[in-house]
Homo-oligomer: A and B are copies of this chain.
Amino acid sequence: MGCVNDGEAVVSTLRVGVIGTGVMGTDHAVILDRFVSGAVVTRVSDVDGDRVAAVAARLSGATVSPEAFALIADPEVDAVVIASSDATHAGLAIAAVRAGKPVLCEKPLAPTLAEAADVARTVERDGPGLLSLGFMRRFDPAHVELKTALAAGACGAPLLVHCISRGVSSGPGATSESSITGSAVHEFDTVPWLLGAPVVEVSWHAPRRSGEVDGLQDPQLILLRTADGVLSTVEVFLNARYGYDVRCEVVGERGVLGTTSQAPVIRDAAGTRSSGYPADWRPRFADAYRLELRAWVDAVTTGVPTPLATSRDGLVAAAVSDAVITSMMAGGGWIAVAVPTEGEGG
């Protein structure tokens, strides 16, 4: 780590390389650069040269790496953030771990269970604890308060969970499977994290299909059964159009706890009372991303324990995704979730 002797004060600075400068990677890089003390983004890389140059120019101390694996190997990089396309996660994560560098990998760990198992095995063997996974809802104040209240018994024993995950539009290349591995996978981590019980079986269902994108089953409805018997409904709707809207409601024996959509301003005009929705996840989860990056930098630099998701959590979520896709292929029956044990699958 770079160090600066500032009079008596010795400040350690974690030098971070960010792979991928799309919406997500840029957001991470800017947050690190501006709102996480003790970290500096030194390198960025992307397949799009113009895009990465523009992002580097916005940062206070970053230069462009020619290529992701070169970034990982760069001695000016102490730790790595992976925010490139889902298909590249596994290979980059394995490379970072093998290089002994702490890595924060955006979800999913990998789009397939086999790849996720590869990563998890590599971490276990070559760098236990080196990989954290970007399930940022664990840092979202609403989700944290929900979990805290649930644990305090505010709604009694949980019985049912209702999750809604809606976005404005699916990106290019979205498929019915990527809706599961790339979007619903958040809920596959959130639900067991909230309940303290793993997902044991799943069932997939197709609502009437939006005509927005040809060939895409959107929305989808997924049922999850956790080991405690709780049943969860998960609606994933990439092209909901009206706004970015993620909500979670836990129904318990004595009450209900639910996260809310927070709108800062109400407008009364033209016969209506209205408030705005964010266009994407960044405003909704701005706190979560900042607190996640803060926790990650702390964990890397000081070893303080955090609620960051691990490679094991990523593997478990991938196993749920795999079971949901199996249910989808089979037309909707209940499918048991099978998490590969260590040594398996390779």
A residues lining the B interface (CB < 8 Å): 2-4, 6-11, 13, 15, 32-40, 42, 60-63, 76, 141-142, 145-146, 149, 154-155, 157-160, 162, 205-212, 219, 221, 223, 228-231, 233, 235, 237, 239-243, 245, 251, 253-277, 279, 290, 294, 332-334
Whether B4 lies near A4 (C-beta < 8 A) is yes
Contact B36 A35 (CB under 8 A): yes
- Closest Cβ–Cβ distance, residue A104 to chain B (whole Å): 17
The distance in angstroms between the C-alpha atoms of A122 and B72, with both chains bound, is: 53
Cα(A36)–Cα(B34), bound, Å: 6
Beyond the given pairs A9-B62, A242-B256, A242-B272, 18 more chain A to chain B contacts, judged by CB atoms under 8 angstroms and listed by A's residue number, are: A4-B4, A9-B60, A10-B61, A37-B40, A38-B60, A141-B264, A159-B207, A159-B208, A240-B256, A241-B253, A241-B269, A242-B255, A242-B269, A242-B271, A255-B267, A263-B273, A273-B274, A273-B275
Residues on the B chain within 8 Å of A233, using CB: 221, 233
Contacts of A76 in B (CB 8 A): 6-9
Q: Which residues of B contact A265 (CB under 8 A)?
A: 142, 145-146, 149, 257-260
Q: How far is the CA of A272 from the CA of B241 in the complex (A)?
A: 11
Find the residue from A2, A258, A274 having the highest chain B CB count within 10 A. A274
Q: Which residues of B contact A255 (CB under 8 A)?
A: 240-242, 267-270
Q: How far is the CA of A223 from the CA of B334 in the complex (A)?
A: 14
A210/B159 in contact, CB under 8 A: yes
Residues on the B chain within 8 Å of A11, using CB? 4, 13, 40, 60-61
Instruction: Please give me the residue from chain B that is nearest to A4 by CB atom.
Output: B4
Residues of chain B within 8 A of A237, CB atoms compared: 159-160, 251
A219 CB contact (under 8 Å) in B3, B160, B209, B239: B160
User: Which of B40, B231, B261, B272 is within 8 Å of A275, CB to CB?
Assistant: B272
Cβ distance A31 to chain B, nearest Cβ, rounded Å:
9
Known interface pairs A7-B76, A10-B61, A40-B6; A266-B257 also in contact (CB < 8 Å): yes
CA distance A216 to B13 in the complex (A): 50
**A42 CA to B4 CA in the complex, in Å?**
13
B245, A268: Cβ atoms closer than 8 Å: yes
Please measure, in the bound complex, the distance between the C-alpha atom of A233 and the C-alpha atom of B160, giving whole angstroms.
13
Please name 13 pairs of A and B residues whose Cβ atoms are closer than 8 Å in the assembled complex, sorted by A. Answer: A7-B15, A145-B265, A159-B237, A160-B207, A208-B230, A219-B251, A237-B251, A240-B251, A242-B270, A259-B265, A261-B273, A263-B273, A272-B275
CA distance A62 to B210 in the complex (A): 54
Q: Quick check: A7 and B264 within 8 Å, CB to CB?
A: no
How far in angstroms is the closest Cβ of chain B from A269? 3
Are B257 and A228 interface neighbours, CB within 8 A? no
Complex Cα gap A333–B203 (Å): 11
B268 x A243 contact (CB < 8 A): yes
Residues of B within 8 A of A239 (CB): 253
Asked if B13 contacts A6 (CB within 8 A), the reply is yes
Taken together as a complex, chains A and B put the C-alpha atoms of A292 and B192 apart, in Å, by 37
Among A154, A160, A245, max chain B CB count under 10 A is at: A160
Quick one: which of A42, A245, A266 has the most chain B CB within 10 A? Answer: A266
